[in-house]
Amino acid sequence: MDRIWAPWRIEYIGSAKPKGAKCFLCIEPGHDQENLVVGRLGSAFLIMNRYPYTNGHVMVVPVRHIGLAEELTDEESLDMMRLVKRTVSLFKDEFKVDGVNVGMNLGRAAGAGLEDHVHIHMVPRWFGDTNFMPVVGETRVISEHLFESYQKLKRKFIEKVL
């Protein structure tokens, strides 16, 4: 059986979550830039992942704080999938990707670092984007600064989606 090691994620997974702390995905529209929200569409929004697997790693999130995928309204589900579709196009245009991983981790046993607010991960992929570093050095190389990726996607989102 093959295994994927992501030791850099333990910082996030193991961090203490203070009681009563505000959900980091519950973002008021006036605070989009400081929270790296790329854009909004109906009842969903697109946000950069601050702990990316690769540059451009984003999450599609319903505005409403909800922890169960089966309780999403049809409108929320549709808006989220519309953003997934449009983000694939953004990735192709801006990052010249060869593919995209799209997925949800539903429940802690499935790898959800945040169980209380469902979201869809979108990870851009390129041929040859893996190398010896994660295996030998237990280090993931992110080739572009998070804020640079954010600015590129935000610009394309405004151009193409709005």
The CATH code of the domain that includes 153 is 3.30.428.10
Domain that holds residue 41: 32-160
Query: pLDDT value at position 133?
Result: 47
Q: Are 123 and 101 in contact (CB under 8 A)?
A: yes
Give the chain's domain count.
1
Tokens 């910082």, residue?
A: 11
Strand 120-125 to 99-103 pairing: antiparallel
List per-residue pLDDT tens for the chain, 162 residues long: 455 566 666 665 566 555 666 899 999 989 999 999 999 999 999 999 998 888 899 999 999 999 999 999 999 999 999 999 999 999 999 999 999 999 998 888 887 778 789 999 999 998 877 655 454 555 555 667 888 899 999 998 998 876
- Give the global pTM: 0.80
Query: pLDDT value at position 142?
Result: 65
List residues bridging with 44 in a β-sheet. 41, 62
Query: pLDDT value at position 120?
Result: 96
7 found inside a domain: no
CA atoms 92, 131, 114, 25: torsion sign: negative
126 found inside a domain: yes
Strand 120-125 to 58-62 pairing: antiparallel
Continuous H helices in 41-145: 74-90, 132-136
Alpha carbon distance 23, 63 (integer Å) = 12
Tokens 């997974």, residue?
A: 13
Query: pLDDT value at position 61?
Result: 97
150 found inside a domain: yes
First-residue to last-residue Cα distance in the chain: 44
Query: pLDDT value at position 48?
Result: 96
22 found inside a domain: no
Amino acid at 31: H
4 found inside a domain: no
19 found inside a domain: no
Nearest to 4 by CA among 138, 142, 143: 138
64 found inside a domain: yes
User: Can you tell me whether residue 19 is helix, strand or coil?
Assistant: coil
12 found inside a domain: no
Active site residues: 119
